[in-house]
């Protein structure tokens, strides 16, 4: 249809998909009004907005965009949970307390994920922790190599030190002991 | 809407599990069934009935698994059923059980 309201809704939906990194599609089963307000409040705290969508508006839009694979999700009543940040863990935690909303799938950073994918994403450690773990793993091999290379000369140095100490002890006290055998190092 | 027209009394029902893969194309009636079951009129008939949605991504068929309080189980495969058919099937079984319960309690008293 080309009436103004439909155009406005279409524009809003296009904006939503353009401006947000995380767009989660959930089935909406009827909920009492206060519960909807509470849920919106808790999600807003994590910068996640709740958007009610009409299938007739969103289906033609999606079929012509790169989000074609989200089309089968849009039957029955749905809502979108959108956020410019990736707050998968917090979103799942809030949704656990709302049994009437069922997460179907999400499009996060232009990647379409199933419900299991979102749960796995929530379990991943944060970016800084993963970077730290990668750096640690990469640094492990060179540090092992350097300690292996230094091992021989370090051992030789230790043996020579011991030898010197015994010689000095031998000068001050009893006669010099025979030098310890050279190690193969 | 449809849910308010069909009378489903959930008293004899212990739990309902609705399983579907949302990315498949045959899940519309099952999802609409889930929406209807959550309607306040139907939910009001039995607050203890747990309705859970099991969202998968493994290409399995859409399924409605109803566990009754007397141990009986009703499995409806939603791929080739309409929402109306599933609701009427559930509704008729529930009313049959209700009737049986009433007759049993009448016999006792």
Q: What are the tens digits of pLDDT across the range B20-56? A: 998 888 888 899 888 888 888 888 888 888 888 888 8
- Dist. CA B30–CA B33, nearest whole Å: 5
Contact A82, A22 (CB under 8 A): yes
pLDDT, residue B4, reads 61
- Specify whether A41 is located in the same domain as A114: yes
Nearest CA in chain B to A76: B32
Chain B residues within an 8 Å CB radius of A28: 35
The answer to whether B7 faces chain A, any CB pair under 8 Å, is no
Transcribe chain B into DSSP letters: -HHHHS----TTEEEEEEEE-TTSSS-HHHHHHHHHHTSHHHHHT-TT-EEEEEE--S-PPPEEEEEETTS-EEEEEGGG--HHHHHHHHHHHHHHHHHHHHHHHHHH-
- Dist. CA B53–CA A135, nearest whole Å: 41
- Specify whether A103 is located in the same domain as A34: yes
Task: Select from A5, A18, A28, A15 the least CA-distant residue to A80.
Answer: A28
- Specify whether A50 is located in the same domain as A140: no
Give the range of the structural domain holding residue A164, as residue numbers without chain letter: 125-168
Residues 6+ apart with CB under 8 A from B33: B18, B64, B78, B83, B86, B87
Q: Other CB atoms closer than 10 Å to residue A80's CB: what's the count?
A: 22
- Specify whether A131 is located in the same domain as A118: no
- Specify whether A52 is located in the same domain as A28: yes
pLDDT, residue A1, reads 55
Q: Is residue A183 part of a domain?
A: no
| Closest residue to A115, CB basis, from B28, B35, B57 | B57
Contact B39, A30 (CB under 8 A): yes
ipTM of the complex: 0.82
- Specify whether A132 is located in the same domain as A48: no
Q: Is residue A47 part of a domain?
A: yes
- Dist. CA A121–CA A113, nearest whole Å: 9
Q: Is residue A11 part of a domain?
A: yes
pLDDT, residue A149, reads 92
Which of A26, A32, A55, A72 should be substituted to probe chain B, the one whose Cβ sees the most B Cβ atoms within 10 Å?
A72
Residues 25-64 of B with CB under 8 A from A: 25, 27-28, 31-32, 34-35, 37-40, 51-53, 55-57
**What's the CATH code of the domain at A17?**
3.30.70.1730
pLDDT, residue A144, reads 92
- Specify whether A104 is located in the same domain as A139: no
Q: Is residue A178 part of a domain?
A: no
How many structural domains does chain A have?
Answer: 2
Question: How far does the CA of residue A49 sit from the closest CA of chain B (Å)?
Answer: 22
Element holding A99 (H helix, E strand): none
Those residues of chain A that have pLDDT short of 50 are: 176, 181-185
Structure tokens, A153: 């000369």
Residues 106-165 of A with CB under 8 A from B: 114-117
Tens of pLDDT, residue by residue over B51-108, are 888 888 888 889 899 998 888 999 989 888 888 888 898 889 888 988 888 898 888 8
Of the candidate CATH numbers 3.40.50.460, 3.40.50.720, 3.40.30.10, 3.30.420.250, the domain formed by B13-107 belongs to: 3.40.30.10
pLDDT, residue B2, reads 62
pLDDT, residue B40, reads 81
Chain B residues within an 8 Å CB radius of A105: 22-23, 57
Question: Do B53 and A105 count as a contact with CB atoms less than 8 A apart?
Answer: no
- Specify whether A34 is located in the same domain as A51: yes
Contact A17, A110 (CB under 8 A): no
- Give residue limits of the domains in chain B: 13-107
């Amino acid at each position: 249809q080309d009436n103004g309201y439909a155009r406005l809704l279409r524009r809003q939906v296009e904006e939503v998909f353009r401006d947000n990194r995380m767009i989660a599609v959930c089935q909406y089963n009827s909920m009492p009004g206060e519960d909807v307000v509470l849920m919106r409040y808790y999600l807003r705290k994590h910068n996640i907005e709740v958007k009610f969508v009409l299938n007739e508006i969103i289906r033609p839009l999606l079929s012509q965009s790169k989000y074609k694979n989200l089309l089968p999700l849009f039957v029955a009543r749905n809502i979108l949970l959108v956020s410019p940040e990736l707050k998968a863990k917090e979103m799942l935690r809030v949704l656990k307390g709302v049994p009437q909303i069922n997460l179907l799938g999400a499009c996060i950073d232009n990647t379409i994920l199933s419900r299991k994918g979102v749960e796995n994403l929530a379990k991943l450690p944060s970016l800084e922790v993963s970077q730290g773990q990668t750096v640690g793993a990469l640094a492990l091999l060179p540090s092992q190599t350097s300690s292996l290379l230094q091992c021989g000369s370090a051992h030789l140095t230790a043996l020579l030190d011991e030898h010197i100490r015994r010689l000095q002890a031998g000068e001050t006290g009893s006669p010099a002991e025979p030098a310890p055998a050279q190690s193969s190092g | 809407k449809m849910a308010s027209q069909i009378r489903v009394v959930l008293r004899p029902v212990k739990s309902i599990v609705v399983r579907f893969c949302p990315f498949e194309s045959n899940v519309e009636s099952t999802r609409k069934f889930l929406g209807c079951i959550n309607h306040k009129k139907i939910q009001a008939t039995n607050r203890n009935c747990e309705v859970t949605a099991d969202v998968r991504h493994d290409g399995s068929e859409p399924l409605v698994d109803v566990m009754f309080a007397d141990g009986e189980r009703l499995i409806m495969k939603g791929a080739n059923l309409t929402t109306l058919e599933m609701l009427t099937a559930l509704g008729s079984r529930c009313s049959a059980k209700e009737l049986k319960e009433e007759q049993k309690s009448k016999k006792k008293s």
